[in-house]
Amino acid sequence: MGNALRFLCGQGFEPCTAGDSDSLGPLDISAVTIGVSAPAQGVEFELHTLPVGARGVVDGDGINVFVSTSDPRESCLVPLEVQVAALERSVAHVWGDKARAKELHKSIIAAGYRLIDVQNEEVLARKYRIRLRGIDAPEAGMPYGKEAKEELAKIVQGNCLRVHVYNKDRYDRCVGDVYCDGIFVQELMLKRGMAWHYKFYDQRAEFAEWEENARAERNGLWASPNPEKPWEWRRKNRRGGR
């Protein structure tokens, strides 16, 4: 019956750590030791995700991730109704009741969970919406919005992530520092000129330095002499901001 039954028995798929994947290949950046650029002070909890899916990257500073319910932190948080629905769906699959299985999966998704195929194993996982802390990438309708999203996808897609979560924003996203294969993702995005330092919400000096270096080298969006700031663009194009 897959991961759902083993989850209730205390077993299940073990997510890979953020340093397990070899898919990134060589990067023109030195690896950042976890904890150096993101001191543990203020971190509420840490997530270890499943590999980021093809549609996981929302934009240049947002990612949707899933965490296996076999994770020690997650295992005690799964609502009873989700556990029951996952088991009933497994039974429906055994009996070939596809309609019932589909209906049950919809209820699981509505509760913020999903059954995901990982290494030919069906894994019950919880969805988290992540907002990269301290950077602000161009919006989809702005110059370099598409490029920023593609750059982030190149870094994280298909890889497991480690996320240090500090808090939630008003959109109920987890605001955190993201690491992939020992690389501090915000550092890479800033150095490649794919985002601004969002100093209104994060005053880390290294972020300002990485942005300044990208400006000096005219990387990414800094090829333009006066790129529009995303928070100003949002103010003009819709109510509210991020």
Residue 18, both tokens: 């953020």
Query: 3-state DSSP: the chain helix, strand, coil percent, rounded to 5?
Result: 35, 20, 45
Nearest Cα to 21, choosing from 176, 156, 187, 163?
A: 156
- Distance CA(30)–CA(156), nearest Å, equals 17
Any idea of the CA torsion for 107, 111, 112, 117, to the nearest 10 degrees?
Answer: -30
Q: Quick one: DSSP state of residue 6?
A: H
Around 151, how many Cα atoms within 13 Å sit in the side-chain half-sphere? 24
- Distance CA(234)–CA(142), nearest Å, equals 10
Residues annotated catalytic, as ranges: 131, 139, 173
Nearest Cα to 105, choosing from 125, 75, 133?
A: 125
Strand partners, 130: 63, 174
Nearest Cα to 48, choosing from 158, 212, 141, 163?
A: 163
Q: Quick one: DSSP state of residue 39?
A: -
Contact 125, 58 (CB under 8 A): no
